[in-house]
Chains A and B, each alone.
Chain A
């Protein structure tokens, strides 16, 4: 079963962390990545650029209208994700709990099942 482990980023929470906490979170992804790669559960992971750099496209009367900034003004933004293929939802929840972000007050990892996949995965 494929799941997206979604890391929501709250810039205010992130800014309130000490330098050590931030380093711990960032470095914590290394061992997690290694573990799920070796177990044959990782499909891919991506980390996204800051939402301030986003642009939103809307097509109105067949013409694209582009606005700079994120889609919604919100406290949390999609920061990145792991796409995994694992045994069960229970296992996906276990994996999410191993992601260092899950330990931070004010942050959490969302686990959402994939319904349809298509595309070339080997690069």
Chain B
């Protein structure tokens, strides 16, 4: 196995644990987080050259502890002239850290990084760095922004968390469910950024999806009985299984109906489907489980025509009831059109267009275009494809829609 990759995996696993050790010893989440980041960067440069230390975790704890001391000392020196501060220097860290078991620090960290006082973009950035152990440079590359921009965003996020009273402790029982929901949202956001991608190059984006899956697996290890955690992980795995088939040789989008299903990753689909089934059998229904079940139903069919559209339509119906959202209704329209014909789908879209959140949305135009095409209304389909193409901010999607418009038969 490639040494650099092994180092990377190990660091991502260890960084949040090391941060947990430091924060529990010294408090000061902001400073500890910086110190761990410095130690991770030290490790990235030193380990591949000098080889892995005997106790990588102890090495990191020591290195981060030293960085923390340096930082606190220089802060003190800077402030000494202005105010007298009570000295709160951390104890020097020397012992390799075997005494602290791998507790739920990583989960606690996720809760803190996904603090509700932060915007989704800040939650995402802080999660990738503090809980994911990625370097600022890696995160910046994935989102195609300068490293300085990402560094500023992360440090602003930490200030916000502190100002909002965020502490390194798991949320209390009354807010647990709500906070977990935010964590799952952030992981899904990271996954989708890597999958559908509004920025960055392919390689770094794929890394975001991998990282989201890794974090979701970690959350699942700690909360094995939570159906929504299982559902989210299942949804991510089944979606990721289609990654290779969803773009053509020159990067063009290949819609589900035209994908070469033999290129889907059967292993990921089996694992994701098992998760969806297990979750739905054993826990109260939730949106991620339903989405996973829908993805599993698609994945089980050898083609669009052999897909169990009745089941997909039913699942969307339930989803609409427990988590109403016009995008869900839009997806249900696709399933309805498969069940009862394009006319039924178009009727539902007409209803949906009255929802101001959806009126003029490019996805609504795109689905309409497909259904108009299916019902042979070529001119109207062409117009809808063009409207959709104008509305999207994704270059690949725009190309795809214009291509669909071009492929329509002339009248």
Contacts and interface: CB of A to CB of B under 8 A. Distances in A.
A75 B342 CA distance: 49
Interface in A68-123: 85-87, 113-118, 121-122
Contacts of B395: 115-116
A42 interface: yes
Contacts of B151: 40
A81 to B, nearest CB: 16
A53 interface: no
B143 A122 contact: no
B393 interface: yes
What is the predominant secondary structure among interface residues of chain B facing chain A? helix
Nearest to B143: A85
A115 B394 contact: yes
B373 to A, nearest CB: 25
A59 B200 CA distance: 32
Interface string B116-146: 0001111001000000000000001001111
A40 B153 contact: yes
B150 A40 contact: yes
A22 B164 CA distance: 40
Interface in A18-66: 37-44
A2 interface: yes
A1 B153 contact: no
A77 to B, nearest CB: 25
B262 interface: no
Interface string B163-185: 00000000000000000000000
B393 to A, nearest CB: 5
B402 to A, nearest CB: 13
Contact of B152 (A2, A40, A44, A117): A40
B398 interface: yes
Contact of A121 (B120, B121, B144, B201): B144
A118 B146 contact: no
Nearest to B157: A40
B146 A122 contact: yes
Given A1-B198, A115-B394, A117-B199, A43 B121 contact: no
B156 A40 contact: yes
Given A43-B149, A113-B393, A38 B198 contact: no
A117 B146 contact: no
Contacts of B149: 40-43, 85
Contacts of A122: 140, 146-148
A115 B398 contact: yes
What is the predominant secondary structure among interface residues of chain A facing chain B? loop
Interface in B381-395: 393-395
Contacts of A40: 122, 125, 149-156
A2 B149 CA distance: 13
Contacts of A41: 149, 153
A25 B151 CA distance: 29
User: Which of A37, A40, A42, A117 has the largest count of B CB atoms less than 10 A from its CB?
Assistant: A40
B130 to A, nearest CB: 15
Contacts of B150: 40
A121 B152 contact: no
A83 to B, nearest CB: 9
User: Which of A41, A44, A85, A114 has the largest count of B CB atoms less than 10 A from its CB?
Assistant: A85
Nearest to A91: B119
A44 B148 CA distance: 11
Interface in B373-411: 393-395, 398
B146 A43 contact: yes
A39 B121 CA distance: 11
Nearest to B120: A87
Contact of B201 (A42, A86, A113, A118): A118
B30 to A, nearest CB: 15
Nearest to A112: B393
B121 A87 contact: yes
7 contacts: A40-B152, A41-B149, A42-B149, A85-B143, A87-B119, A115-B393, A122-B148
Given A41-B149, A118-B201, 7 more contacts: A40-B125, A43-B145, A44-B146, A87-B119, A115-B394, A117-B199, A122-B146
Interface of A: 1-2, 37-44, 85-87, 113-118, 121-122
- Smallest CB-CB A-B distances: 5 pairs: A40-B153, A40-B152, A121-B146, A116-B395, A113-B393
